[in-house]
């Protein structure tokens, strides 16, 4: 299985790992140990990441397809009943809340281009129990992966636009003629977006760890997504559950939590697994290569 990925077309980017003489610990316990010890560091990288991503967040907020107009367009929806069900809020507040949740959802689970490379480096080092300088490591990876990060960011924006248009078109066609095939197409689109979301857990980790072109990064991310699909699904469900729980329970404070901690916390949950999965796969491929 490891030979599928072909990591040895380019060099590995430098990074200090765990001491070879140190006895191995279970990853489950390492996760909570790191989370507790680095909690405030994770909060710091979260705030730096959100600050640098602010222009992208504003853009996502402005162009969000999830807004009050989308809610009003839903068939058989009683707007007054909806508003009464979520508390004494107006349409304007609901519109802002939906847009903010969408913007932070994208930068959390899809990323923010070069800024995600910077945060990914710091969180990867933490997951390896290695030291990381938040400011210098962040900006080093931001600059060295700026071009590739911007390519991913642009691709993400194109995917958001095309997916939004596709759902609107097929949803409208279903409303007009009741053709169940339109629903099937939308389900296929949903699955494609799920896979694309999982891929982002690997895209930036591969970008900061190995030298390679964008074709290789996307290809290997797709392969990791399929091979590790159950694990990706479980981790994403957990991190998204935390994300949406914060927004539902804290309401207007959900965005504040994203700015202070939530974004990096959800990213760390996924990054902790994906960085380890990449390392174990590369180690297995290396052993296989040495035996040949």
DSSP string, the chain: -GGGT-GGGSPBPP-----TTSPP--HHHHHHHHHHHTHHHHHHHHHHHHHHTHHHHHHHHHH-SSSHHHHHHSTT--HHHHHHHT-S--HHHHHHHHHHHHHHHHHHHT--THHHHHHHHHHHHHHTT----HHHHHHHHHHHTHHHHHHHHHHHHHHHHHHHHHHHHHHHHHHHH--HHHHHHHHHHHHHHHHHHHHHHHHHHHHHHB---HHHHHHHHHHHHHHTHHHHHHHHHHHHHHHHHHHHHHGGGHHHHIIIIIHHHHHHHHHHHHHHHHHHHHHHHHHHHHH-
How many angstroms separate the CA atoms of 105 and 267, rounded?
11
How many angstroms separate the CA atoms of 145 and 151, rounded?
10
Q: Compute the average pLDDT of residues 88-104.
A: 81
Q: Compute the average pLDDT of residues 282-286.
A: 78
Task: Write down the pLDDT at residue 85.
Answer: 53
How many angstroms separate the CA atoms of 238 and 148, rounded?
28
Lowest mean per-residue pLDDT among 16-25, 120-129, 159-168: 16-25
Residue 6: pLDDT above 70?
no
Task: Write down the pLDDT at residue 4.
Answer: 56
pTM for this model (two decimals): 0.86
Q: Where are the domains of the chain?
A: 25-105+114-153+202-291
Residue linked to tokens 């140990």: 33
Task: Write down the pLDDT at residue 157.
Answer: 97
Q: What is the mean pLDDT of the chain?
A: 86
User: Percent of the chain having pLDDT more than 90?
Assistant: 60
How many angstroms separate the CA atoms of 266 and 255, rounded?
14
Tokens in use for 25?
A: 């610990």
Encode pLDDT of 140-176 as tens digits.
Answer: 999 999 999 999 999 999 999 999 999 888 877 877 7
At residue 129 the predicted structure's pLDDT band, cuts being 50, 70 and 90, is: confident
Residue linked to tokens 């699955």: 191
Task: Write down the pLDDT at residue 254.
Answer: 82
């Amino acid at each position: 299985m490891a030979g599928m990925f072909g990591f040895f077309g380019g060099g590995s980017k430098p990074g200090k790992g765990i001491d070879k003489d140190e006895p191995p610990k279970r990853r489950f316990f390492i996760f909570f140990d790191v989370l507790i010890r680095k909690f405030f560091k994770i909060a710091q990288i979260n705030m730096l990441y959100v600050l640098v991503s602010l222009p992208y967040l504003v853009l996502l907020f402005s162009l969000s397809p999830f807004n009050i107009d989308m809610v009003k367009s839903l068939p058989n929806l009683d707007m007054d009943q909806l508003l009464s069900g979520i508390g004494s809020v107006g349409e304007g507040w609901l519109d802002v809340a939906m847009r903010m949740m969408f913007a932070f959802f994208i930068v959390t689970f899809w990323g923010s281009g070069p800024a995600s490379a910077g945060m990914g480096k710091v969180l990867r080092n933490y997951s390896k129990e290695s030291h990381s300088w938040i400011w210098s490591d962040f900006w080093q990876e931001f600059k060295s992966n700026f071009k590739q990060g911007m390519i991913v960011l642009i691709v993400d924006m194109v995917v958001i636009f095309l997916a939004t248009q596709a759902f609107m078109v097929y949803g409208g066609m279903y409303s007009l003629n009741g053709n169940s095939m339109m629903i099937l197409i939308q389900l296929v689109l949903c699955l494609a977006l799920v896979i694309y979301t999982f891929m982002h857990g690997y895209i930036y980790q591969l970008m900061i760890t190995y030298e390679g072109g964008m074709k290789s990064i996307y290809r290997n991310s797709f392969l990791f997504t399929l091979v590790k699909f159950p694990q990706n699904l479980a981790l994403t469900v957990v991190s998204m559950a935390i994300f949406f729980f914060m927004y539902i329970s804290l309401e207007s404070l959900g965005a504040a939590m994203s700015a202070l901690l939530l974004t990096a916390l959800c990213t760390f949950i996924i990054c902790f697994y994906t960085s380890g999965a990449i390392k174990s796969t590369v180690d297995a491929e290396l052993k296989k290569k040495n035996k040949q």
